[in-house]
Structure 1
């Protein structure tokens, strides 16, 4: 899995792993915009780090909804220095969503779905960039789109 360094367009290897209890000391609201420690009881939280250094660049909180064959993204965030116009790296959110897609497909195969409830201003971004479909307040991706996300971001 790779992200891209914006300045040189260089591919940088990354990995996605579960957040360890000790990681919460370095996951601040200032850096990641939310209180991630408040989600640990209700969601599985994953971190995206550089392959060669344990620097956390992005986080995703996932909730399994077995009755609907769905993995719900409760929260996703990239670090402060990797968001906005002056970001250092791109592809972090895509890699995290692709990770959610892998979990959903592994668990539910052809019935798999990944969904999230975006902020209003981000709805069109998820539809355009990640191929999601609108469904009321949520956007979602099913089998073919999930496979495409993995093919695009899990290289």
Structure 2
């Protein structure tokens, strides 16, 4: 997976791995917005970091809902310096969403679905940037749109 450094336009390779106990010390709410220790109690948390470094650039908490063949994105965030117009890197969130799609596809095959409950102000962003479908209080990816996210951001 690749993310783009905005100031140079160069791509840098990233990896997504499970969040470890030792990482919790690095995760301040001022930089990562949520209580990730609590998130680990409710789902599986993964971190995105550069292959050539250990700085955590983004996090995602996933909950597998097997009976619905769905993976729910419970929390998704990029680090403070990678948010907004002056962010350092592009496509961090896309890589994390694609990772969730990949997990869902591996677990549930062609019936896989990925969903999240967006903040109201982000609903249009998820529709336009990630082709998410509006399911009322949830946004979701399935079928072709799920596969397109994987192809665009994961492969």
Give TM class, smaller chain: over 0.9
Contact 1:109–1:143 (CA under 8 A) maintained in structure 2: no
After TM superposition, the structure 1 = structure 2 runs for residues 3-152 of structure 1, keeping only pairs within 5 Å, are: 3-152=3-152
**SS of match in other structure, 2:30:** helix
Q: Distance in 2 between matches of 1:101 and 1:135?
A: 17
**SS of match in other structure, 2:87:** coil
Q: CA RMSD in A?
A: 0.6
**SS of match in other structure, 2:41:** coil
| 1:82-136 deviation digits (Å, cap 9, x = unpaired) | 0011100010000000000000000001100000000000001001100110001
Shift of 1:39: 1.1
Instruction: Give the TM-score taking structure 2 as reference length.
Output: 0.98
| 1:14-60 deviation digits (Å, cap 9, x = unpaired) | 00000001101101101111111111111000000000101100000
Q: Distance in 2 between matches of 1:133 and 1:113?
A: 11
Q: Distance in 1 between matches of 2:47 and 2:100?
A: 12
Instruction: Give the TM-score taking structure 1 as reference length.
Output: 0.98
Q: For structure 1, which runs of at least 5 residues remain unmatched after alignment?
A: none
Q: For structure 2, which runs of at least 5 residues remain unmatched after alignment?
A: none
Shift of 1:143: 2.0
Moved over 4 A (4+): none
